Structure 1
């Protein structure tokens, strides 16, 4: 994976779900069994099949609830395991979610909404430290509420963070079809890069909606486009792409740091070491949070030129 690709997951941190959750208890079924078209899950037993018994001589059938003892249950299928998700710590309630995300869950039955919220919250809390676990939580939420764009978005962002690029692309495309949002385009373009499809990444970078992006999102797309040019061996085009961005902005925001770093890295790849050294220094000058290794890269270049 190209070294300038994002290493900390989605750019849309503010819209990311937050919290964690998924225990095997409560699989989105209510006590009465019917829950808005939600599929029943194996291992919970059914009502009717072997649970329906007719009284003697063809009297009215009576249903009784039963659950197969754990020791007699078969192994969970992959689909059932995704539905269950990882265990949810009790302290995760779902109230950790951003209000805007929680609002999208209000159309679900109360118990189902609470379960989905806990999974989304878990995904958000784990996405940096354990992206694979975050992805499993997001899949559990998706299994319960796949028709909600916010859930598909969370699954896509978690898949991206975990390195499941084809899955991330599919989920974000689904979310985009549902809500028409274009915020996902930089991540989708980067997924194309990771999948060896730089031409598709460049195509997304040229989408008309990119012009209206906020500075941070526009910078992310610029970095991805430049990276795609590099993947295709077009170093001069990559440099031109970055030179059209606000490299000299007085802002010390992380997106400016990342732009400068990408430019310095591309200059070095193009053999322009003196220019690269200058830009690594300019990157380090505003990188107070040390989100890049610009200082180390500058030191290595200085030693090489000594």
Structure 2
């Protein structure tokens, strides 16, 4: 969050840094981040304290130039010079040495030591034929001190060197500073013409099915009627079948037996 907000809202970035330091105060990067946000918000006392803590935790003088500037911001240019003199050049890389030289030159200017301020900047890295990320700042600081010394022509030359170095860096690294993002949104949709064609095709299929149903209706009715007719025919055939014949044959002998029995009985004598 600090990285996202430091350029647009330094105060809110500082609040995030404070929150991180309360939760992880023994982690060097949290103290380093808090120092940077405090410096950006002009709280030089807090920034200096956090930078010293960071140096104690890591043993690194990477932010020595920032410490010198914090002393200057607190109105202590002499202390700033003493802080810069504590550094060992062998332990600093090229960029760190350049920023320390610029900060020391500023402290000399605060003390009114203009010529010494110029000497602080006359280091091997002050080379107009080479351009590094720190070159525009170094050339500009040198031009500023030359103006204070009244050497306007030389100052103009070094301002031109600073602008040329900045332009070369922009040409080389400018494209890398901008990230162009393209957002592509994909949607599942059917074109209007296709939708109409689909609707028409569906309607035609429905119509064809309806017509086919009407044409097949008589055949379906006959097919449904056929089983019913067959069932009726079977019932009629069962009624006419010889299955009932034995019952009829049984009735005939019974009648004959009854007639024979009546014939064998003696005739009743007339009553006297």
Using the TM superposition, give the Cα deviation of residue 244 of structure 1 relative to its aligned residue in structure 2, in angstroms: 2.5
**Structure 2 residue aligned with 1:234:** 113
| Residue 280 (1) aligns with residue 159 (2) | yes
Q: C-alpha separation between the residues in 1 aligned to 2:95 and 2:23?
A: 32
Aligned to 1:271: 150
Contact 1:222-1:245 at 8 Å conserved across structures:
no
**1:237-262 deviation line (CA, Å, top 9, x unaligned):** 00111113421153322211110000
Q: Larger RCO: Structure 1 or Structure 2 (Cα < 8 Å, ≥ 6 residues apart)?
A: 1
CA shift digits 1:36-58 (9 cap, x unpaired) = xxxxxxxxxxxxxxxxxxxxxxx
Paired with 1:199 and 1:159, the residues of 2 have a C-alpha distance of 22
Residue 174 of structure 1, CA deviation: 1.2
Q: Give the aligned partner of residue 204 of structure 1.
A: 83
Deviations 1:113-133 (A, max 9, x none): xxxxxxxxx012211222111
Q: Which has the larger radius of gyration?
A: 2
CA distance in 2, matches of 1:184, 1:135: 18
Residue 214 of structure 1 corresponds to which residue in structure 2?
Answer: 93
Cα distance change of structure 1 residues 191 and 209 upon mapping to structure 2, 3 Å threshold: same
1:181, CA displacement in angstroms?
A: 1.5
What is the SS of the residue equivalent to 1:138?
Answer: helix
Give the corresponding residue for 1:172.
Answer: 51
Deviation digits for residues 207-252 of structure 1 (CA, Å, limit 9, x no counterpart): 2433331111111100000000000000000011111342115332
1:231-270 to 2 correspondences below 5 Å: 231-248=110-127, 250-270=129-149
Could you say which residue in structure 2 is the equivalent of 1:189? 68
The whole-number CA distance in structure 2 between the counterparts of 1:210 and 1:129 is: 35
- Give the TM-score, by structure 2 length: 0.59
Deviations 1:120-159 (A, max 9, x none): xx01221122211111100011111112222111111111
Query: Deviation of residue 189 (structure 1)?
Result: 0.9
Q: Kindly tell me: are residues 222 and 245 of structure 1, through their superposed partners in 2, closer, same or farther at Cα, counting changes over 3 Å? A: farther
Q: Which runs of 4+ in 1 moved over 4 A?
A: none
Q: Does residue 39 of structure 2 align to residue 124 of structure 1?
A: no
TM-score under structure 1 length normalisation = 0.53
SS in 1 for 2:26: coil
Q: In proportion to residue count, which structure has more helix? A: 2
Checking the alignment, whether the CA contact within 8 Å between 1:127 and 1:134 is kept in structure 2 is yes
* Unaligned residue ranges in structure 1 (runs of 5+): 1-121, 292-306
Once the two structures are superposed, the pairs formed by residues 1-306 of structure 1 within 5 Å of their partners are: 122-248=1-127, 250-288=129-167
Structure 1 distance, partners of 2:67, 2:142, is 22
Task: Please list every run of 5 or more consecutive structure 2 residues that lacks an aligned counterpart in the other structure.
Answer: 171-272
Change (3 A) 1:290 1:251: closer
Contact 2:61 2:87 in 1 (8 A): no
